[in-house]
Amino acid sequence: MIPHRFWDGKSVIVTGGSSGIGRAVAIAVAASGGRVGIVSRHAERQRDTVEAIRAAGGTAAGEIADVAEMDDMARAVSAFERSLGSCDVAIACAGIHRISWPLDPVTATEVIDVNVKGCVHLAAAVLPAMLHRRRGHLCGIASIAGVVGLPGNAVYCASKAAIIAFLEGVRLDAGDSGIQVTTVFPGVVDTPMVTQAERDAGGLVSATEAARIILRSIERGRAEAWFPTRTAIAARAARSLPPLVRDWFLRRQPRLDEADGG
Ligand SMILES: NC(=O)c1ccc[n+]([C@@H]2O[C@H](COP(=O)([O-])OP(=O)(O)OC[C@H]3O[C@@H](n4cnc5c(N)ncnc54)[C@H](OP(=O)(O)O)[C@@H]3O)[C@@H](O)[C@H]2O)c1
């Protein structure tokens, strides 16, 4: 990747930076000159990503933390402020996917805790300093699944709908404070979160391509990034259908199943 001045020397926190989209984003940011702080729970995967970035000549640090816990997030962000400098860009990528039919309240709470609270906790940890400096960028990885309900995925879709609305609200509140907010709406991206059946069905975006689109959207200060185009158009079109027709259409969509690695 050609180094891009936008990222040069910037301090960038990526939650979920040890796998899939987050890992690809962390590697791409570091390759473009950014200093990357990775938040995730499992030490081995995190160490592997940090070492890969350093081996390629980049700057990276890792903090073991659960994004669902505000204290953990605050501690991780403080550690990165000390080691990498004030956070310029925060990217909420940590997420989990669980099937929610039949509905199990424990699993549902886990999905909401990681996918929704995780994003809110990152924002709460970085925004005060960004507002003080009148500079910063918050980005959240939502999903096209947050625009519609999908069979077997009511809770996952709800968690993504929640952060879509959350990030939109923060963008409105941030106003002319110098803070920018980007919401990312991926379709299916080839990561450990997707099943082999989804891979076999084709039409996936690679994690590297997803990272390229995410970085470009942040650089350009875009409010939203949707990809791939076909899935984005289908989801937006489905949203505008009358409910009975929409239900008929959505029931016929291939079910997003739970992957072993997600
Ligand atoms: N792949 C897709 O098709 C797709 C499509 C649309 C949106 N998305 C969204 O994109 C984001 C990344 O997904 P992905 O496909 O790259 O998944 P992935 O490969 O499974 O990576 C998930 C990352 O989140 C971290 N994580 C999970 N729970 C965490 C917690 N409680 N605290 C801290 N870190 C946690 C994981 O590390 P640890 O397990 O070590 O904590 C890992 O680094 C998610 O928000 C997902 O919902 C994915």
Q: What is the pLDDT of residues 228-247, one digit of tens each?
A: 999 999 999 999 999 999 99
pLDDT band for 3, please (50, 70, 90 cuts).
Answer: very low
Q: Cite the DSSP H helix spans in the chain.
A: 20-31, 43-55, 70-84, 105-112, 118-133, 154-174, 196-201, 207-219, 229-239, 243-251
Which CATH number does the domain housing residue 144 bear? 3.40.50.720
Tell me, yes or no, whether 114 lies in a domain. Answer: yes
pLDDT band for 4, please (50, 70, 90 cuts).
Answer: low
Cis peptide before 102 (omega within 30 of 0): yes
Tell me, yes or no, whether 56 lies in a domain. Answer: yes
Which pLDDT tens digit goes with each residue over 144-201? 999 999 999 999 999 999 999 999 999 999 999 999 999 999 999 999 999 998 998 8
CB 47 near ligand 1, within 6 Å: no
- The DSSP output letter for 161 is H
CA of 200 to the centre of ligand 1 (A): 21
Tokens describing residue 198 = 């989804």
Question: Could you give the CA distance from residue 222 to residue 200 in angstroms, rounded to a whole number?
Answer: 32
From the CA of 92, give the closest atom in ligand 1: 45
Question: Could you give the CA distance from residue 11 to residue 34 in angstroms, rounded to a whole number?
Answer: 6
Tokens describing residue 122 = 């990152």
Tell me, yes or no, whether 218 lies in a domain. Answer: yes
Tell me, yes or no, whether 24 lies in a domain. Answer: yes
Containing domain of residue 112, as a range? Answer: 5-251
CA of 64 to the centre of ligand 1 (A): 14
Is the pTM of the predicted complex or chain greater than 0.85? yes
Tell me, yes or no, whether 72 lies in a domain. Answer: yes
In this model, does residue 64 exceed pLDDT 50? Answer: yes
pLDDT at 202: 86
Tell me, yes or no, whether 260 lies in a domain. Answer: no
For every residue of 197-213, DSSP letters joined together read HHHHH--PEEHHHHHHH
Tell me, yes or no, whether 256 lies in a domain. Answer: no
CB 19 near ligand 1, within 6 Å: yes
What does each C-alpha distance from 47 to 23, 83, 114, 194 come to in angstroms? Answer: 11, 16, 21, 23
Tell me what percent of the chain is helix, strand and coil, each rounded to the nearest 5.
Answer: 50, 15, 30
From the CA of 189, give the closest atom in ligand 1: 3
CB 18 near ligand 1, within 6 Å: yes
The upper half-sphere exposure of residue 91, i.e. CA atoms within 13 Å in the direction of its Cβ, equals 30
CB 20 near ligand 1, within 6 Å: yes
Tell me, yes or no, whether 153 lies in a domain. Answer: yes
Which pLDDT tens digit goes with each residue over 75-111? 999 999 999 999 999 999 999 999 999 999 999 999 9
Scored b (16 or more CB within 10 A) or e, 177-198 reads eebbbbbbbbbbbbbebbbeeb
Contact 32, 5 (CB under 8 A): no
pLDDT band for 256, please (50, 70, 90 cuts).
Answer: confident
CB 141 near ligand 1, within 6 Å: yes
Catalytic residues: 156
Which pLDDT tens digit goes with each residue over 20-57? 999 999 999 999 999 999 999 999 999 999 999 999 99
Number of domains making up the chain: 1
pLDDT at 137: 98
pLDDT at 201: 87
In this model, does residue 260 exceed pLDDT 90? Answer: no
